[in-house]
A and B are shown apart, each in its own frame.
Chain A
């Protein structure tokens, strides 16, 4: 059975390239594509795809916020988020809001096809390494380049507690230096 796929990604080159790649996959058919989050519900309602690939970084709205509007417009459509990095932070939030999971753009076309098949079958992709709310509170301060004592002061907790949170985050995220953690914090821009 052919899986009908639609794509929402603001980068035209990526969108059309991806469409070409998926169209060449035997059990898939690309039924539509658009570049804005605000266009996604209409696209989903008109084409009723089995799976909608939804980029998380859209110019007009947060891709995570588009999940709900798409679900309202096409309740049978499964939503698979696309992201530059498969950050667990976003994967957890996406699944919470009803998406089937999140796939990083550094995934191979074969693995993307597997994820699309799983989503079409109603499966939810596993999420690893999501941060706790407290860790999420601390992260923006880390992104500013602050030391643990300064962060502790800002949040009214001890330097030691901050250090413990940092250590656990680095373990979870497989980051081995403070500089790496600062870069991560700035990249995901909480």
Chain B
């Protein structure tokens, strides 16, 4: 039921019903609130950012708590902006950012991270991310970045493609190993066979020159291949 069209002449643009805002997109696109999907594994952070964006007149159409949920939201809703945290369970923000243009070419990715490490911003640029905002930036800066990216302005330079040591699948397996998942659980999350997971795992260990899973985690973290954000912030 998306009625209420009787009063549409009097309704301010900002509060159009979902049905009417679809119509408005094609006639007066500049007045349409920017549709944002918000991904962060911390509920309190999501609630806070959502409150800030709503106050700025933006439309937070969905929230996701991990990278896989985010991809599902984006595939279904095709938001203007995906606001993506980097350290997220099951699939991190990097891998999600890499896949978002594949499932929804019109969606532009903005990273919202607590990490200041320039390597992270570089890697985000390499993946085609439009802006990189840190969580200690002012709310105005975030709102401004969303507005500018929504109008097509890139705030993060796309970097030259550097040779990636690990394949996307290997990165996926690595993250799930780091999260303490067993091969059979990893296979379940990735919807692949245990055999395939074992192969990825063996290749990962060979590439990083380690013999045990424990060494794999220690080396991957030391090389910055995974985001192990702890309670004390950056690792």
Which residues of A line the B interface, CB within 8 A?
A: 10-14, 16-21, 24, 35, 56-57, 59, 62, 82-85, 87, 90, 104-109, 112, 142-147, 175-184, 186-189
A-B contact count, CB below 8 Å? 156
Known A16-B48, A107-B43; 16 more pairs at CB < 8 Å = A12-B139, A13-B112, A16-B139, A18-B47, A21-B48, A24-B51, A59-B233, A84-B42, A145-B219, A177-B213, A178-B212, A179-B177, A180-B179, A182-B218, A183-B217, A189-B235
B217's contact among A12, A106, A145, by CB below 8 Å, is which? A145
Of A56, A57, A146, most buried by chain B (CB within 10 Å of CB) is A57
Which residues 120-153 in B have Cβ within 8 Å of A in the complex?
Answer: 133-139, 142
- B180 to chain A: closest CB distance in Å? 2
CA distance A45 to B135 in the complex (A): 27
CA distance A10 to B136 in the complex (A): 6
CA distance A87 to B229 in the complex (A): 13
Q: Decide yes or no whether B12 CB sits under 8 A from chain A.
A: no
B-chain residues with CB within 8 Å of residue A87 when the two chains form the complex: 231
Type the 1/0 row for B32-61, where 1 means its CB is closer than 8 Å to any CB of A. Answer: 000000000111110111111001000000
Of A35, A83, A105, A178, most buried by chain B (CB within 10 Å of CB) is A105
Closest to A105 in B: B42
Whether A177 lies near B42 (C-beta < 8 A) is no
Q: Which 3 A-B pairs have the closest CB atoms?
A: A17-B48, A180-B180, A145-B218
Closest to A173 in B: B180
Whether A12 lies near B45 (C-beta < 8 A) is no
Whether A178 lies near B213 (C-beta < 8 A) is yes
